[in-house]
Structure 1
Amino acid sequence: MNCCGLLTLKKEPVPLKSIEVELEVRDHVATVVSTLNYENKEDKPIEAVFVFPLPGDAAVCHFSAKMGQKEIVAEVKEKQEAREEYDDALSSGQQAFLLEESDQSPDIFSMSVGCLPPGESASIRLEYVTELAVQADEGLRFCLPAVLNPRYTPQGSEAPAVQVNSVPASLVPYSLSFSARVSSPRPISKVESSCSLDPLQFLNTDQTQATVKLGAGHKFDRDVEVLIYYKDAHQPTAVVEAGQASAKPGTLMGDPVVMVSLFPEFPQSVMSSVASCGEFLFLMDRSGSMGVSMNNKDRNKTRISSARETLLLLLKSLPMGCYFNIYSFGSSFEHIFPKSVEYSQQTMEEALKIVGKMEANLGGTEIVKPLKHIYEQPCIPSQPRQLFIFTDGEVGDTKEVIDLVKNNSASHRCFSFGIGEGASSALISGLAKEGGGHTQFITGSDRMQPKVMQSLRFALQPAVVDISITWDLPKDVSVTVLSPPITALFQGQRSLVYGQLSGQRSEAAEGCVTVKYSLAGHPTQNQLHFSLKPEKDTGLTVHRLGARTLIRSLEMEGRESRGEQHTGVKEKVVALSIQSGVSSCFTAFIAVNKGDGEAIQGPLVRRNVPRTGIQKKLCYRSSSCIKISMACSNPIPQAVPMSCGVSATRGSGAKPTVFHRAIKAVQRIFRRRNDDAFWSQPEVKPPPCDPLLQLVSLQNASGFWMLDSALAAALGKMNEEVKKSKPEPVSSEVWASILALIWLQEFQTDAKDEWQILAGKAVLWLQAQNAPNVTECVDAGNALLGCSVQKDALGL
């Protein structure tokens, strides 16, 4: 083998040299152009195959290849037809390029560059558009996925696993450059990232346009996440985009398309009342990959340890009178209680004891079985079911999971959390979208707790029902809604609606869209008036996003249909995909170089381009096949290979062989994570207890704190000192609770999102006590703790 140029771990040449990414953000929509530069330095023609992630809701709308001065633009064709054309081109010695979406998950794509001759270079241009999600702090989140982890395929699944060639981040053999241009009608407040960025450069005096670049020396050890903040971000807007001049009027691409962005505002009288009921079900991923560190800076903070802390906060924040249960899953699943139980001090303590012992030791990632078990349980009358799903999203049956949630969406709301790099955006976003909930991604140095607590606040909001949208348009104008019906509304969260506008209209014409819904028994509505005059310089971004929305709805309809009905849906999707130039699960982009050059001679060598992935994972594929990839953050001794793929097949009733016993022994070894006799570095000591979590852990289920030595220690005081400072005749519990509230308000201001709900429980409990001398207690508490917190600030 000619081992020149870039090499993989197996010493195979890598034809991909570099990736250049240009991001253009217009308000809350992003257009991403990626250029992948290939070069064949071998002495034989090659086929380069690159499997990579994209945002789950991205609309891939352009794919082209450039060799020298010649550019070939790919066409969208039915997937099987495109594959056959690609194979035919390769067999006849022609250059060909194929881009297709994974059959299992819409956020994984495969790019094949075929018949690249020796010494030849090629630049592949890939373009997609995507909506930017609104975060808890009103920032807009863009994520360029850099990490693609192998997706777990459950036992008995017919779908093959997505084949991913992964290497550690430090060994990715190609470079990445990234630049962004941001423009908005509103001033840009700031741009932040989990990666190092060069300073933001404003392009005009009103700061509505800016550019930013990825800092030098970026490593492929994490996704590139960019957060964009505008002033007055929560303003409803509508953008009308003119149709494509070459397209036929009456078609989606020929007519104008409107994108309406709604931010519902709920009456304050309703928002001030927090729900005191509900069935809260927490479904926690305990697969092997949850033992990986949350980020590279703090190796002690693993995904599972952060999840344990989050469950502590959630359990302390639940309202009295609700019901709850905690499920955990891997290759199998467990639940703390046989069925949901009423929330009380006893049940909370029982749950916390088990939560504290949770480890990432349940093997693979099989989420369907626990979901089916949950949906088989009868709902509790007058206790709306709220499902919280925590996972790193490494599953191969994404579509099956999402369909299951959608089919049961009438009985619950689903809130989803993607943990760590490489979480499937299609899975995480799809769960919340189809389950009428809200989604969050926790990556890099993000703390899980504030994001999860925001979702709990959403879950505690009164459920919005009877949602409808009406359009008031000029007499000769009609609208065809491209978006599925809105199933969930939350205070301050955006809802997007796409509509195809048909008919004649004047330049000065206006339209109005009205969202009507019922909230806590009160009919409510929000209106948005907008101009029907098309915006300038929007290209076809809105059309493509609208087409993508309609394609996704039809694809889901197709999965639910059978026979001729399924065939009819597929034909609709293929026609719409070809018309709009937007990818789908039934189509692919195909480009063939049909030039006059001679056919490329010689056998074609396949080169799989590796990408960043989490290698340190212990996962169980099934009971009959075990694969081991080292599951620990400590350095691996030289005697143990870094990536061993061990497969063992056995029939039912077979006796354990020496080989199987060896596998079990290796598994036991890797559970001894801190054994100095084995690991080549000193034992990693557990991190010190978080002061906030220490105080939170002492709170009673009904909201108060006990006056004891543990509380005194959490407050940084001696027990006798705290007791002596208590005013008379206030009870010990009232005094302890007021001290805890003062400490939270003074010393944990930055973490208010995390403790706000449980502090509200404490305030309600204090108000119910009708305690005398509350003002005197606050003054005495300030004196003891050295604070100056006002009584009103505590909510008292």
Structure 2
Amino acid sequence: MMNCCGLITVQKEPVPLQSIEVELEVKDHVATVVSTLKYQNKEDKPVEAVFVFPLPGDAAVCHFSAVIGQKEIVAEVKEKQEAREEYDDSLSSGQQAFLLEESEQSPDIFSMKVGGLAPGESASIRLEYVTELAVQADDGLRFCLPAVLNPRYQPQGSEGASVQVFSVPASLVPYTLCFCGRLFSPRPICKVESSCSLEPLQYLNTDQTQATVKLAAGHKFDRDVELVIYYKDAHQPTAVVEAGQTSAETGTLMGDPVVMVSLYPEFPQSVMSSVASCGEFVFLMDRSGSMGSSMNSKERHQTCIMSDRDTLLLLLKSLPMGCYFNIYSFGYNYEHIFPQSVEYNQKTMEEALKKVEEMEANLGGTEILKPLKHIYSQRCIPNQPQQLFVFIDGGVVNTKKVLCLVKKNSSCHSCFSFGIGEGASSALINGLAKEGGGHAQFITGTDRMQPKVIQSLRFALQPAVEDISVTWGLPKGVSVTVLSPPITSIFQGQRSLIYGQLTGQGAASTDATDGCVTVRCSLPGQPLEMKLVFSVRPAVDTGLTVHRLAACTLIRSLEMEDREQQHGGMKEKVVQLSVQSGVSSSFTAFIAVNKADGKVIQGPLVRRNIQLTVENKKNDNSVFFPKTNMVISASSLDVIGCKEATAPKQPPRDPLLQLVSLQKASGCWILDPDLAAALGKTSEEVTSEVWATILALIWLHGFKMDAKEEWELLAMKAASWLRAQNGRNLIHKFYLFTPQAVSRNFWMPIKAN
């Protein structure tokens, strides 16, 4: 694995960023993040500092200010070109200026320019954003402070020239990071997990609804700061009504109350116990050069592509008979195992697995748009809803084009996305799932890919939910304008968020009047209704967090509509909303100019690129953001003091995967010496397919219960096969040998009668 790297200029000049302090505040499932970046110019000439950095893709940047001496300068949101011209004009006239702008290509990349730092002068930059926390499949709420910025692949023929950037080990990044967080929840906080070392969780009250969390000393810039927060009884629907801004005009989004409704569907057990037996499952695998790197520092022998192969094995063994499938892989170009999706059976499964074993990280860059276009061009299979699984470890320049394509085809498929390793683009991973009506997962640190992917397969195999509708019941004189896109998919346990602007004379009333929102949909054989009653009375002292999240949601929807229409019709609306709400967009920027002291900066400014942790992705030839001067070329990345490690000997295969590899597509295990060896038995003790299957199931239940989420689907398929063999008595016998009857230290031999 290559060391994570920072950015440095060719001459290796000093850079003026000294430290970053991050304060996190989490209230239920909403996070507010305040970052303070401290600069000092230690040179004998004025400088312009440029800092390119990642943020969560769905973050609403809502504040940008600078403190010079005792003077605070608060930035305004303006149309992007206007802000750039004002910045340039200010520097030309000798004034200090600060510019913060979002990439036009991907909403998770920002650039900040600190212009006009005089020799010896210090500046403190304050950046604030709010973001929703995504619900993981294990019910945890994921917060990620991106610290690693992977190079973004730019498709051939894209405009823009690359800027030469050199890399150094992450340990040499000169600035420090201080991170602390405060957690508030209406329900007890059970635990907080992280890919980074944390100090022990400190509770602030006896009911454990408030707590603080801090990074342990010695944190290095080699990974994102990821927290997963677990609440007790997390799946509780909630609604918050936030009062409008008193200085804003009534009738505008910021002037009216806004409601945020959070719903968690609970399906009947009769529905959840059934698994779909149809569907077209398409797996799109990243095989760019960077997938040859290690999954994490503790298991260097396990590369990302090796984990992909193991994951595909489990996926293919878990598919139901009667479905269709295909596997695509991509780099500069793309490949597919079959010309079009084929019916899942023993022959096609074996053919696919043979090709999977040959997969290597040898396809170069990360061109995902071409294979997606090909997949969507294929004929839909009647009565086989398409489920697309996308695996990627980095990002691309054309994120918004990719998401636009997925949304355009969202009516005919669901998209489940997986970000592999540090620095995977949150805008791309979350956007694929959001626009494709699926679910996103991130595999970082020591996470195993297989359980998370199988959890998403469970979502894909849930019964199809149709005819989704949302209705409101509000007090007289109050109406609602829904700001969120329509709900197109519902999964068991997955949160659905709805933002609405409340208008009318009764909307801002202090009277405690109730309203309700009802979501109705159809499940196989029965309707489902979710209803939440809430007080329309605005909450006290909630700030403008909900308004900003609602504004961000509406801005992203309008930007997507603008790209779909391809004539720029939404730009004016986006700029107006962005300026009014103070929330960033791809068409606006934050601009601050120090006009107070009247000082003029003498002499030309020298540009200094700020070092940032960047993971060197070999063979990707990656660049990013030509239209905003934010470009990195992986071909120009120079690794100092790093050599590729010699490939270690292949470790023995995991016993679970060895057993799974011997299962047939139908669900059974056959008479095979390899199976007997995997079970620790002799061939004489495994004398029929029925008993071979039962023995395999007993082994799974007796020795691999800690990995149950990985094999449960294929075990269900095996049990169904046994029932089809008139094996109900055998099924009964099987359960006598589950862990309740057989300890892990006693493997009871069983012989057929």
TM bucket normalised to smaller: over 0.9
- Aligned counterpart, 2:456: 455
Are the aligned partners of 1:281 and 1:327 in contact in 2 as well (CA < 8 Å)? yes
Counterpart Cα distance in 2 of 1:484 and 1:681 = 48
How far 1:302 moved relative to its partner?
1.3
How far 1:174 moved relative to its partner?
1.1
Counterpart Cα distance in 1 of 2:640 and 2:469 = 54
How far 1:788 moved relative to its partner?
9.6
1:746 aligns with 2:743: no
- Aligned counterpart, 2:303: 302
Are the aligned partners of 1:291 and 1:302 in contact in 2 as well (CA < 8 Å)? yes
- Aligned counterpart, 1:402: 403
- Aligned counterpart, 2:87: 86
Q: What letter is aligned with 2:210?
A: Q
Deviations 1:669-716, CA, capped at 9 Å, x for gaps:
x9xxxxxxxx89765222221111111111110001113221122223
CA 1:393 to 1:160, structure 2 compared with 1: closer, same or farther past 3 Å? farther
Counterpart Cα distance in 1 of 2:374 and 2:601 = 56
1:541 aligns with 2:545: yes
How far 1:612 moved relative to its partner?
1.0
Deviations 1:736-761, CA, capped at 9 Å, x for gaps:
11111111112111111111100000
CA 1:772 to 1:756, structure 2 compared with 1: closer, same or farther past 3 Å? closer
Aligned equivalent of 1:558, options 558, 562, 578: 562
Counterpart Cα distance in 1 of 2:728 and 2:470 = 51
Counterpart Cα distance in 1 of 2:89 and 2:527 = 61
Q: Matched residue of 1:98: which SS?
A: strand
Q: What letter is aligned with 1:199?
A: P
- Aligned counterpart, 2:517: 513
Q: Matched residue of 2:131: which SS?
A: strand
Are the aligned partners of 1:169 and 1:221 in contact in 2 as well (CA < 8 Å)? yes
Deviations 1:244-274, CA, capped at 9 Å, x for gaps:
1111111111111100000111222222221
How far 1:192 moved relative to its partner?
1.2
- Aligned counterpart, 2:21: 20
Are the aligned partners of 2:242 and 2:539 in contact in 1 as well (CA < 8 Å)? yes
Counterpart Cα distance in 2 of 1:587 and 1:288 = 35
Deviations 1:637-665, CA, capped at 9 Å, x for gaps:
xxxx6379xxxxxxxxxxxxxxxxxxxxx
1:707 aligns with 2:671: yes
- Aligned counterpart, 2:581: 580
CA 1:758 to 1:205, structure 2 compared with 1: closer, same or farther past 3 Å? same
Write the mapping of 1:517-536 to structure 2, written as runs, cut at 5 A. Answer: 517-536=521-540
Counterpart Cα distance in 2 of 1:513 and 1:166 = 52
Counterpart Cα distance in 2 of 1:202 and 1:466 = 44
Tell me whether 205-214 or 261-270 shows the greater mean CA deviation.
261-270
Q: Matched residue of 1:611: which SS?
A: coil
Write the mapping of 1:349-360 to structure 2, written as runs, cut at 5 A. Answer: 349-360=350-361
- Aligned counterpart, 1:334: 335
- Aligned counterpart, 1:767: 723
Write the mapping of 1:661-740 to structure 2, written as runs, cut at 5 A. Answer: 684-720=648-684, 722-723=685-686, 732-740=688-696
How far 1:629 moved relative to its partner?
5.2
Q: Matched residue of 1:413: which SS?
A: strand
Counterpart Cα distance in 2 of 1:754 and 1:116 = 55
Are the aligned partners of 1:35 and 1:125 in contact in 2 as well (CA < 8 Å)? yes
- Aligned counterpart, 2:4: none
Counterpart Cα distance in 2 of 1:168 and 1:136 = 34
CA 1:382 to 1:772, structure 2 compared with 1: closer, same or farther past 3 Å? closer
- Aligned counterpart, 1:469: 470
User: What is the total number of aligned residue pairs between the two structures?
Assistant: 730
Are the aligned partners of 2:37 and 2:125 in contact in 1 as well (CA < 8 Å)? yes
Write the mapping of 1:475-514 to structure 2, written as runs, cut at 5 A. Answer: 475-505=476-506, 506=509, 507-514=511-518
Q: Matched residue of 1:60: which SS?
A: strand
- Aligned counterpart, 1:73: 74
CA 1:572 to 1:199, structure 2 compared with 1: closer, same or farther past 3 Å? same
Q: What letter is aligned with 1:579?
A: Q
Structure 2 gaps of 5+ residues are: 1-6, 624-631, 749-753
How far 1:591 moved relative to its partner?
0.2
- Aligned counterpart, 2:711: 755
Counterpart Cα distance in 2 of 1:537 and 1:141 = 26
How far 1:59 moved relative to its partner?
0.1
Deviations 1:277-318, CA, capped at 9 Å, x for gaps:
111000001011111211111111111111111100000000
Q: Matched residue of 1:246: which SS?
A: coil
How far 1:420 moved relative to its partner?
0.9
State the structure with bigger RCO (CA 8 A, min sep 6), 1 or 2: 2
CA 1:115 to 1:248, structure 2 compared with 1: closer, same or farther past 3 Å? same
Q: Matched residue of 1:270: which SS?
A: helix
When the two chains are superposed, the root-mean-square deviation of aligned CA atoms in Å is 2.4
Are the aligned partners of 1:97 and 1:112 in contact in 2 as well (CA < 8 Å)? yes
Are the aligned partners of 1:153 and 1:161 in contact in 2 as well (CA < 8 Å)? no
Are the aligned partners of 1:53 and 1:146 in contact in 2 as well (CA < 8 Å)? yes
How far 1:598 moved relative to its partner?
2.4
Q: Matched residue of 1:388: which SS?
A: strand
Counterpart Cα distance in 2 of 1:770 and 1:162 = 68
Counterpart Cα distance in 1 of 2:451 and 2:373 = 29
Counterpart Cα distance in 2 of 1:251 and 1:98 = 27
How far 1:22 moved relative to its partner?
0.4
How far 1:495 moved relative to its partner?
0.5
Counterpart Cα distance in 2 of 1:375 and 1:477 = 43
CA 1:235 to 1:779, structure 2 compared with 1: closer, same or farther past 3 Å? closer
- Aligned counterpart, 2:629: none
Q: What letter is aligned with 2:725?
A: Q
Counterpart Cα distance in 2 of 1:630 and 1:696 = 43
Deviations 1:171-210, CA, capped at 9 Å, x for gaps:
2221111000000111111111110000111111111100
- Aligned counterpart, 1:209: 210
CA 1:630 to 1:744, structure 2 compared with 1: closer, same or farther past 3 Å? farther
Counterpart Cα distance in 2 of 1:544 and 1:627 = 35
Q: Matched residue of 1:17: which SS?
A: strand
Tell me whether 263-272 or 212-221 shows the greater mean CA deviation.
263-272
- Aligned counterpart, 1:280: 281
CA 1:465 to 1:790, structure 2 compared with 1: closer, same or farther past 3 Å? farther
CA 1:786 to 1:594, structure 2 compared with 1: closer, same or farther past 3 Å? closer
Counterpart Cα distance in 1 of 2:734 and 2:293 = 45
Counterpart Cα distance in 1 of 2:354 and 2:549 = 47
Counterpart Cα distance in 2 of 1:488 and 1:79 = 35
* TM-score in terms of structure 1 length: 0.88
Are the aligned partners of 2:265 and 2:494 in contact in 1 as well (CA < 8 Å)? yes
Structure 1 gaps of 5+ residues are: 1-5, 632-640, 645-669, 671-678, 727-731, 792-796
Q: Matched residue of 2:85: which SS?
A: helix
1:188 aligns with 2:189: yes
- Aligned counterpart, 2:751: none
Q: Matched residue of 1:61: which SS?
A: strand
CA 1:790 to 1:541, structure 2 compared with 1: closer, same or farther past 3 Å? farther
Counterpart Cα distance in 2 of 1:592 and 1:92 = 11
CA 1:156 to 1:683, structure 2 compared with 1: closer, same or farther past 3 Å? closer
Are the aligned partners of 1:738 and 1:778 in contact in 2 as well (CA < 8 Å)? no
* TM-score in terms of structure 2 length: 0.93
Q: Matched residue of 1:485: which SS?
A: coil
CA 1:130 to 1:784, structure 2 compared with 1: closer, same or farther past 3 Å? closer
Write the mapping of 1:295-444 to structure 2, written as runs, cut at 5 A. Answer: 295-444=296-445
Q: What letter is aligned with 2:662?
A: L
Q: Matched residue of 1:457: which SS?
A: helix
CA 1:532 to 1:164, structure 2 compared with 1: closer, same or farther past 3 Å? farther
Counterpart Cα distance in 1 of 2:460 and 2:388 = 9
Q: Matched residue of 2:678: which SS?
A: helix
Aligned-pair identity in percent equals 74
- Aligned counterpart, 1:615: 616
